[in-house]
Amino acid sequence: MFVKKSLWAAALVTQTCAAATAKPRDDAKCTKTTVAILGGGMAGVAAAQALSNSSIHDFVIIEYRDTLGGRVAHTDFGKKPNGDPYTVELGANWVQGLGSPGGPENPIWTFAKKWDLNNTYSNYSSILTYNETGYTDYSALLDEYEDLYDDAAEQAGVLLKQNLQDQTARTGLSLAGWKPKKDDMKRQAVEWWEWDWEDAYSPEECSFIFGSAGQNLTFNQFSDANNYVWDQRGYNRIIKKEASTFLKNDDPRLHLNSVITNVTYSDDGVTVYKEDGSCVQAAYAVCTFSLGVLQNDAVSFSPELPHWKQTAIEKFSMGTYTKIFLQFNETFWPRDTQYFLYASPTTRGYYPVWQSLSAPGFLEESNIIFVTVVSQEAYRVERQSDEQTKDEVMAVLRQMYPDIDIPEPEAFMYPRWSTTPWAYGSYSNWPPSTTLEMHENLRANVDRLWFAGEATSAEYFGFLHGAWFEGRDAGDQIASLLKDECSNVHSTSEECGNRVYYETLHGSSPLADYSVFDGWSVSSFYSSS
């Protein structure tokens, strides 16, 4: 039996294992199935594949869009020399942490090789630095940050192992010696490149323990190599090809263009209602909605999700990572460089990281460059018009290259992830003072309704491989429930029955500590009389 214990929880609540023969309540109007998978992204496809591998083929995948892939999404952009459009990735774009000889291999890298996905190593040393005056070399600050970050990450590990209180990543970095002043815009740009560009939030907004652990678990376990995917068939090729190993062409188990409006669940089963009036009735369901969809109440649940579950959903953060693409009639920036870092004189995170797709090994004749913004800057540009954003972007480029007469772009485009109704953001993040128990509540099932996705991965949140692992685990555990067995997908332990959740989570300071001896001399509670 797999059980976790917590000093933070007043009560550890486990759900009883439902009998494998239990059936959902009967509704003659609904399509009947054993497992309904809500969402056709990486987690949904991994869950379906796990069921299929366990000889459970009676499932349906219900997907909002007209294709599989979820936030692994691409679009047409610009023109090739022959007039055809290029394909650029709007969402997930890298295979992060490939694997090392003799060590574990990232499953996404395994799929990339299996399905011949075109990708190129991202050389983060291939970078030039700029400010409002043009090229200026402050690359030594990159080395300074990385040396101090190593010390900070080690200390984050100490906090985790010794069960000490979490801090903001800002606190952890400061204690390690990285303390950029607010007006030191070069150091601010370097920090953005090193931290925000990965987490989609600033160090002030991130857990020190889990922000560090999240990066270390991927890059130390697999490798520190990242490969950029530029395949003109789209990054979601690997998801669709994996799905093709268990889905037939025009498979009736795949419901595309299906907008879910309500999920009704109980300990007898789950009924999924769609916008077109149809419904699917299942013994179990796997909800792979993004954290953003859950936070925006885009789908209603009946009954309402319990308070412990709603609290967990609201506790975690959904980041927005916005790539802004430009195509020109020529490549006027250095062709042999992959990255360009810009330090705005006034605003941290203002169009800071530029990436060339004309660099060797990428789309070399494309004359495409893109710049990334996150968090508040992403929300700002998503609220304004393309024309306003283009004017701002072009002003930055002309500061970076003051001696070049830069023409207007021939193509310009960016997505608006924070308002996309099937995503509401790019990927999840752990804010400061989050605990593993809080995350267990996010991950836990509610009756026959299970949850999976990158946000439910404690080790790999924010990563595509996190979505794959979580989908696989949910599918395997449901298959085990249907067979009245324990899941052994993890070789270190078996998982039996439902996932653990915590009805109540306590803080670190009991009410008795709020006294004059602790610096708390005024009562927080006032009588109304």
Quick: pLDDT tens for 176-230.
999 999 999 999 999 999 999 999 999 999 999 999 998 889 988 899 999 999 9
Total domains in the chain come to 1
**Smallest Cα–Cα separation from 229: which of 112, 328, 125, 327?**
112
Q: Is the pTM of this model over 0.85?
A: yes
Q: Which two tokens stand for residue 506?
A: 């306590």
Is 62 inside a domain boundary?
Answer: yes
447 close to 266: Cβ distance less than 8 angstroms: yes
Q: Which of 17-26, 153-162, 394-403 has the lowest mean pLDDT?
A: 17-26
Is 96 inside a domain boundary?
Answer: no
- The rounded distance, in Å, linking the Cα atoms of 268 and 402 is 67
- The rounded distance, in Å, linking the Cα atoms of 107 and 99 is 9
Residue-range definition of the domain harbouring residue 29: 9-70+236-317+425-505
Helices 42-53 and 464-482 sit at what angle, rounded to 10 degrees?
30
- Is pLDDT above 60 for 327? yes
- The rounded distance, in Å, linking the Cα atoms of 425 and 404 is 36
- The rounded distance, in Å, linking the Cα atoms of 476 and 54 is 7
What per-residue confidence (pLDDT) applies to 522? Answer: 84
By DSSP bridging, strand 94-96 and strand 74-77 are unpaired
- Is pLDDT above 60 for 30? yes
- The rounded distance, in Å, linking the Cα atoms of 199 and 264 is 34
Residues in the chain: 529
Is 82 inside a domain boundary?
Answer: no
Q: For residue 249, count other CB atoms closer than 10 A to its CB.
A: 6
> Coil, strand or helix: which one is 429?
strand
Which residues in 120-149 are b (16+ Cβ under 10 Å) and which e?
Answer: bebeeebbbbbbbeeeeebeebbeebeebb
Is 129 inside a domain boundary?
Answer: no
**Smallest Cα–Cα separation from 324: which of 375, 369, 383?**
369
Q: How confident is the model at residue 492 (pLDDT cuts 50, 70, 90)?
A: low
Is 468 inside a domain boundary?
Answer: yes
- Is pLDDT above 60 for 26? no
87 close to 512: Cβ distance less than 8 angstroms: no
The CATH number of the domain holding residue 247 is: 3.50.50.60
Is 291 inside a domain boundary?
Answer: yes
- The rounded distance, in Å, linking the Cα atoms of 279 and 218 is 39
Q: For residue 96, count other CB atoms closer than 10 A to its CB.
A: 25
